[in-house]
Amino acid sequence: MDIGFIGLGQMGFHMARRLVEAGHQVVVYDTRREAVDRLTALGAQAASSVREVADRVETVMASLPTPDVVHAVAVGKGGLIEGNRVRRFVDLSTTGSVMAGRIFETLGERDIVQIDSPVSGGVNGAAKGTLAVMVSGPRAEATALEPVLAVIGKVFFISEKPGAGQTMKLANNFLSATAMAATAEAVILGVKSGLDPRVMIDVINSGSGRNTATETKYPNNVITRTFDLGFTNGLMMKDVNLALSEAKALGVPMDIAEAVGRAFKRVCDEVGASADMTTIVQPLERRTGVEIRSPGGKR
């Protein structure tokens, strides 16, 4: 299949790469020329604009950082809505259901179908093709695209309702953010009392406190002090805030999400929005005078 791919960041690069390696003809665009060059070196074709991508292929995928960027790329001036050939837009980004619905309606006026397909699994999942792909939109279109989406991960059809995939993604990311924030407090508590964080993580992973943060992020990215998961504090704060917005609209109290949102706001303010989300431990470390690392610097 001929596929356009817009947005070649840490996630987008690997998803586009896997599509190229699977034999698809992929036309790529990113505002950073070096990102495009990495894909063309692997066999992709370069485009000079979003509009050019939409002029060359019927199916355009996008992996973009914020709802506003997705909106601009999809329906803004020079966006894919102005393309002559595009017929479907597969959005792999996290925008929230309200924005997804707006884009769905606007594209529909030009007979372009949006397939909402946010993904979860991080950079490692994107590289390995093991992402969870949460699809919503017209069932026939989703079914036709499933073999393509299966190249990047396991496909889950959520609903025909526009934006339903976004709601699923936000619920997932709220839990992921909560695991990171809660584990920071739990491990700091132990370290402050003199426990070895490596032993703590091993015990937790053999007990009822096990979660995605303790299984991979803390042993691989925090205790090692590399802080290189590949997902930023700012993006996670954005996702938690989107979840809170959806909850407010639906009348769902989310006291825990509000606390988690405050934790990510603090790390964005003190460490930086562009810093890796595993640095959420650092404000607590500074306040308590301890660090989450094995005694003697062991990794």
Positions marked catalytic: 169
Whether 84 contacts 68, CB under 8 Å: no
> What is the rounded end-to-end Cα distance, in angstroms, of the chain?
45
d(CA 18, CA 20): 5
- CA-based nearest residue to 135, from 101, 171, 172, 90: 90
- CA-based nearest residue to 232, from 262, 277, 263: 277
107 burial via Cβ count (<10 Å: 0-12, 13-18, 19+): buried
> Distance between alpha carbon 219 and the CA centroid of its chain, in Å?
21
Q: Angle 30-33-34 (CA atoms, 0-180°, nearest 5)?
A: 110
Question: Strands 119-120 and 131-136: what pairing?
Answer: antiparallel
The DSSP-derived string for 116-181 is E--EESHHHHHHHT-EEEEEES-HHHHHHHHHHHTTTEEEEEEESSTTHHHHHHHHHHHHHHHHHH
